Amino acid sequence: MKILFSPSESKSLENSCNSLHLETFLFEKLLKKREFAVKKYQDFIDKASKDELKKLFGIKNEKLLETLDGINIFKDKTQKAILRYNGVGYEYLSYPTLKKSEQEFLDNNMIIFSNLFGPILAKSCIPYYKLKQGEKVDDLSFETFYKKEFSSSLDKYLENKLVIDLRATFYEKFYLPNVKYYTFKFLKNSKVVSHWAKAYRGKIARELAIYQPQDEKELMDIEFDNLKIKEIKEIKNKKELTFEIE
């Protein structure tokens, strides 16, 4: 099983790993492509004005800008991606409270779609950074770049695997699977939830780490807490599971 997951805007400042080693990331053969995108970001922030940085980072706070001043993606200390991101989805995933075997499962089977680094494994060590969702650097659109350069490799990597896509819709701009995959939709009182969808994606990811299903039957046998299956819809290679929140 492979889990596709979104990053979060909120990130921890803690570091437990040495500096960045892009050669250890997924798809080593695409190292130069990833280096190009990351270097483009670093070159831009090295010369950007305060206003340009605020736009790139998606912030207005001067104090926060001071905290971010001097970021060096290639030299700064790093943290495992699944611990670097600490938004709502990661809060409900609660990685540190999982058993070691469950953590290792996520480390090697969760693919996080970073706005800067593209598709990376949960165990990949990344530095603290800020990049507003959808923001360009000069003429470089990160989502368009990664979709063009990495989609073929992702399709091969995910072939014949149980693929669970728990990403926010935006990240389909980075990659839209050409293999069979499953998505989750959440309703409350028959209405689609938005904000709380992040929390439930985190909860689902946690349950998947615990049960580690390897096929559709094992996936469907999981009784997710406070969720009742309402509808299953198949559209081409996507199977959408709709749950009512109880």
Q: Write down the pLDDT at residue 82.
A: 98
Residue 15 exposed, middle or buried by CB count within 10 Å (0-12, 13-18, 19+): middle
Structure tokens that stand for 108 in this block? 């090697």
The C-alpha atoms of residue 14 and residue 27 are separated, in whole angstroms, by 26
User: What string of H, E and C letters represents the secondary structure of 71-131?
Assistant: CCCCCCCEEEHHHHECCHHHHHHCHHHCCHHHHHHHHHHEEEEECCCEEEECCCEECCCCC
Q: Between the CA of residue 10 and those of 145, 167, 241, what are the distances in Å?
A: 23, 16, 28
Q: Write down the pLDDT at residue 62.
A: 82
The C-alpha atoms of residue 161 and residue 181 are separated, in whole angstroms, by 9
Structure tokens that stand for 239 in this block? 């199977």
Mean pLDDT by 10 residues, the chain (246 residues): 97 95 97 98 94 92 81 96 97 98 98 98 97 94 98 97 97 97 92 87 97 95 92 95 92
Q: Where are the domains of the chain?
A: 2-245
Q: Between the CA of residue 97 and those of 160, 189, 211, what are the distances in Å?
A: 30, 31, 15
Q: Write down the pLDDT at residue 64.
A: 81
Q: Write down the pLDDT at residue 141.
A: 97
Look at the block and give the residue holding tokens 């780490």: 209
Give pTM, 2 decimals. 0.96
